[in-house]
């Protein structure tokens, strides 16, 4: 079979080659990590100049569709930024879904009552685009956690803010230090922007200083980390680790530090920050885990230059986050009943997570989850563990999409576990992994 036919790649110009590869990914004929032909082989097959094929591959890399893999050549990215024609997985009837990472709906505010009280005036072009009361409340929250609040902006969710911060300072091909394992949304975003991930291992207290130092020496121009409720491992910074990471970053004063504090008041851990005194930084605090995923709003704090660049780019794109939504979030933050609900959620998430980890420990199964809504469980083989648990009625998440170089694991969302489920789930997990835990 010819190279072009085998890989579904064709065209007479670099732009046409790019489109054919994109079409192959979108239609599912080219899957994640699938190798592509070498520049010379494809050029010879299509009777094109090698420079034409090289230009196409360069464009594909910049768009995050493919990645160079050293001597192994060029491969489709592990998470190409395209919606491919693959059916979305559905949880079969009767199976308990503990895979999605959602908060417990019982701890999300009931919106109709507050919506009925909310009567924001209609904003017009030229009006203030940021709700002053929302910014005041956000500043108070952030300042209590040691985050500078001189420059704030309102974003359409955590990833919206992080994407704009990265675009404000980086270009395709730049290296970015990322947690490994880390949140799929961050890893996907890094790939989509054409950035090169530099994996940094972590333990219960967050990124390992030695690994971060190595990534910075390899040229990482930015660090993206989750200070607490890290997804998927539940890692959370503590005071000693914060000091160690600040010392590592001090040797690289121009490195951009981006913190994704997505869980905020329901994280189950104290907030620490690495951003104090840095030249370029941003902290993004979303309301999706505390108030509800459909409230697409996050507060961005950062150095004045970064925030100004982000707002400038926002102004020529989305423009602003709906001030009706901003007004609703401000009312939620001021409501005494909501404050009590968030405190109850934080307590419940901590209790459910810790009870599951303790139940697993009694059965000889290692698990991680110092904070947050999930528990991370190393396994020998992910698909076997996921399949075995599915047979026992549990839908859990394989760890593959969260990993760059770290070992296999499964992620279990503990946030909505009912009291009677913990012991049965722990016993089933122990049976599914057959106690063949990898060595720490």
Q: Average pLDDT, stretch 389-393?
A: 94
**What pLDDT was estimated at residue 28?**
81
Q: Average pLDDT, stretch 416-440?
A: 83
Q: By the 8 A CB rule, do 202 and 180 touch?
A: yes
Kindly tell me if the per-residue pLDDT of 435 is higher than 60.
Answer: no
Kindly tell me if the per-residue pLDDT of 401 is higher than 80.
Answer: yes
Report residue 307 as tokens. 């925030």
More confident residue, 114 or 216: 216
Indicate the pLDDT class of residue 440, thresholds 50, 70 and 90.
Answer: very low
**What pLDDT was estimated at residue 194?**
85
Cα dihedral across residues 247, 253, 256, 261: positive or negative: positive
Q: Average pLDDT, stretch 39-45?
A: 89
Q: How far apart are CA 324 and CA 115, in angstroms?
A: 10
How much of the chain exceeds pLDDT 70, in percent?
91
Kindly tell me if the per-residue pLDDT of 16 is higher than 60.
Answer: yes
Partnered with residue 97 across adjacent β-strands are 395
Other beta carbons within 10 angstroms of residue 140's beta carbon come to 11
Q: How far apart are CA 253 and CA 331, in angstroms?
A: 39
Radius of gyration of the chain, Cα coordinates, nearest whole angstrom: 23
Kindly tell me if the per-residue pLDDT of 436 is higher than 80.
Answer: no
| Helix-helix angle 422-433:336-362, to 10 degrees | 40
Look up residue 368 and give its DSSP letter.
Answer: B
More confident residue, 350 or 192: 350
Q: Average pLDDT, stretch 414-433?
A: 94
Chain centroid to CA 1: 40
Indicate the pLDDT class of residue 62, thresholds 50, 70 and 90.
Answer: confident
Q: How far apart are CA 166 and CA 152, in angstroms?
A: 16
CATH 2.40.30.70 given to domain 96-105+338-433: no
Per-residue pLDDT of 115-133, as tens digits, reads 766 666 677 676 778 899 9
Q: How far apart are CA 147 and CA 150, in angstroms?
A: 9
Q: By the 8 A CB rule, do 196 and 171 touch?
A: no
Which position has the token pair 């010819």? 2
Coil, strand or helix at 347: helix
Specify the DSSP element, H or E, that contains 302.
Answer: strand 298-302
CATH number for the domain running over 112-334: 3.40.640.10
Other beta carbons within 10 angstroms of residue 109's beta carbon come to 18
Listed in sequence order, the DSSP H helices in 268-322 are 304-315
Per-residue pLDDT of 309-335, as tens digits, reads 999 999 888 888 998 899 999 999 999
**What pLDDT was estimated at residue 238?**
97
CA atoms within 13 A on the CB side of 366: 13
Kindly tell me if the per-residue pLDDT of 85 is higher than 70.
Answer: no
Predicted structure pTM score = 0.84
Average pLDDT, the chain: 90
Report residue 421 as tokens. 């489920």
**What pLDDT was estimated at residue 426?**
97
One of 3.30.930.10, 1.10.10.10, 1.10.287.470, 3.40.50.2000 is the CATH number of 3-76, namely: 1.10.10.10
Q: By the 8 A CB rule, do 328 and 114 touch?
A: yes
Q: By the 8 A CB rule, do 114 and 331 touch?
A: yes
Q: How far apart are CA 108 and CA 111, in angstroms?
A: 9
**What pLDDT was estimated at residue 214?**
97
Kindly tell me if the per-residue pLDDT of 373 is higher than 70.
Answer: yes
**What pLDDT was estimated at residue 70?**
65
Domain range summary for the chain, segments of one domain joined by +: 3-76, 96-105+338-433, 112-334
Q: How far apart are CA 231 and CA 226, in angstroms?
A: 8
Kindly tell me if the per-residue pLDDT of 86 is higher than 60.
Answer: no
Kindly tell me if the per-residue pLDDT of 31 is higher than 70.
Answer: yes
**What pLDDT was estimated at residue 1?**
53
Other beta carbons within 10 angstroms of residue 116's beta carbon come to 8
Q: How far apart are CA 223 and CA 281, in angstroms?
A: 10
């Amino acid at each position: 079979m010819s190279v072009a036919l085998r890989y579904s790649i064709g065209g007479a110009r670099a732009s046409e080659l790019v489109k054919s590869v994109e079409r192959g990914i979108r239609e599912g004929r080219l899957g994640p990590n699938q190798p592509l032909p070498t520049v010379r082989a494809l050029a010879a097959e299509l009777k094109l100049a090698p420079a034409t094929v090289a230009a196409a591959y360069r464009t594909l890399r910049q768009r995050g569709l493919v990645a160079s893999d050293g001597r192994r050549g060029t491969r489709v990215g592990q998470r190409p930024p395209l919606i491919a024609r693959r059916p979305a997985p559905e949880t079969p009837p009767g199976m308990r879904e503990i895979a999605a990472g959602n908060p417990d709906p019982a701890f999300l505010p009931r919106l109709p009552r507050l919506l009925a009280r909310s009567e924001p005036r209609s904003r017009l072009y030229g009006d203030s685009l940021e709700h002053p009361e929302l910014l005041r409340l956000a500043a108070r929250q952030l300042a209590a956690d040691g985050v500078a609040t001189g420059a704030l902006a309102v974003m359409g969710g955590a990833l919206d803010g992080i994407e704009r911060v990265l675009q404000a300072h980086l270009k395709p091909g730049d290296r970015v230090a990322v947690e490994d394992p880390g949140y799929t949304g961050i890893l996907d975003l890094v790939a989509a922007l054409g950035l090169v991930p530099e994996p940094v291992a972590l333990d219960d207290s967050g990124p390992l200083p030695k690994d971060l130092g190595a990534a910075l020496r390899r040229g990482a121009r930015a660090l993206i980390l989750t200070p607490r409720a890290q997804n998927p491992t539940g890692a959370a910074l503590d005071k000693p680790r914060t000091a160690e990471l600040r010392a590592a970053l001090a040797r690289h004063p121009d490195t951009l530090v981006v913190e994704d504090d997505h869980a905020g008041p329901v994280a189950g851990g104290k907030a620490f920050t690495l951003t104090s005194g840095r030249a370029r930084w941003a902290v993004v605090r979303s309301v999706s885990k505390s108030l509800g995923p459909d409230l697409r709003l996050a507060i961005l704090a950062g150095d004045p230059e970064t925030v100004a660049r982000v707002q400038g780019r926002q102004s020529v794109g989305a423009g602003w986050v709906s001030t009706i939504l901003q007004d609703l979030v401000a009312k939620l933050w001021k409501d005494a009943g909501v404050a009590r609900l968030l405190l109850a959620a934080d307590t419940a998430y901590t209790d459910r997570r810790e009870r599951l980890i303790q139940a697993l420990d009694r059965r000889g199964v290692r698990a991680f989850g110092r904070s947050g809504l999930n528990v991370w469980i190393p396994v020998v083989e992910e698909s076997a563990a996921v399949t075995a648990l599915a047979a026992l009625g549990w839908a859990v998440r394989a760890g593959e999409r969260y990993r760059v170089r770290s070992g296999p694991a499964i992620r279990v969302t503990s946030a909505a576990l009912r009291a009677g489920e913990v012991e049965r789930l722990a016993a089933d997990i122990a049976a599914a992994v057959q106690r063949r835990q990898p060595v720490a």
